[in-house]
Structure 1
Amino acid sequence: MTVVQHAIRRGEITDPWLAGMLARKPKMLVAVALANRTARMVWALSTKKEIYQVRAAA
């Protein structure tokens, strides 16, 4: 929820996925979806034994 609140307060959302979700869905639902997305990434990285690489800004 903190990530969502911080993005809304700043008014500057750099992640297109998060911006699209906030435009369409309620804040609490977006927070749950973001937590789920993060958990899926962590699970995938741990099962593949890879290191997280941040996407380059477009």
Structure 2
Amino acid sequence: MYAAIGDITAFQNGREMAAWLGLVPKQQSTGGVPTLLGISKRGDTYLRTLLIHGGRTIVRVADKHDDRRNNWIKELNQRRGKNIPAVTVANKNARIAWAVLTKKEPYKAGA
């Protein structure tokens, strides 16, 4: 991820990096009413694919764990199916990666 992104300071926040990777909904607005479409699929295709495959794995094994994040994933999986939670988890992981890379501290799961 670090090699593909290069300078992490180019992104002001994790959402900008997730948008650059194409992990956020594409927005189209007319008359001031925004419409959220599917993921935008911009940025590095290979990195986005890896993040989404990792998200699928996390969604698949979320039933085996009982913590706050996995409970959220289980609820999302029941409401939205399999693919939307996988992309949502990939988006969240990209934002966490941005925070870890900018702060230069190890990841703390309980924070």
TM-score normalised by structure 1 residue count? 0.70
**Bigger Cα Rg:** 2
- C-alpha RMSD over aligned residues: 1.9
Pair 1:45 & 2:94 matched: no
More helix by share: 1
Q: Which amino acid aligns with 2:71?
A: P
Superposed CA deviations along residues 4-26 of structure 1, whole A, max 9, x for unmatched, are 2233xxx4342222122112111
Identity over aligned residues, as a percent? Answer: 37
Tell whether the 8 Å contact from 1:13 to 1:19 is kept in structure 2 after alignment. no
Tell whether the 8 Å contact from 1:45 to 1:51 is kept in structure 2 after alignment. yes
4+ long deviations beyond 4 Å: none
> Which residue of 2 is the match for residue 5 of structure 1?
60
Superposed CA deviations along residues 2-53 of structure 1, whole A, max 9, x for unmatched, are 222233xxx4342222122112111011101101100100111111112111
Give the distance between the partners of 1:6 and 1:54, measured in 2 at CA: 17
Decide which of 90, 97, 103 is 1:35's aligned counterpart. 90
Structure 1 gap segments, 5+ residues each: none
Tell whether the 8 Å contact from 2:59 to 2:74 is kept in structure 1 after alignment. no
TM-score normalised by structure 2 residue count? 0.41
Aligned residues: 53
> Which residue of 1 is the match for residue 75 of structure 2?
20
Give the distance between the partners of 1:6 and 1:37, measured in 2 at CA: 17
Q: Which moved more, 1:14-23 or 1:39-48?
A: 14-23
Structure 2 gap segments, 5+ residues each: 1-55
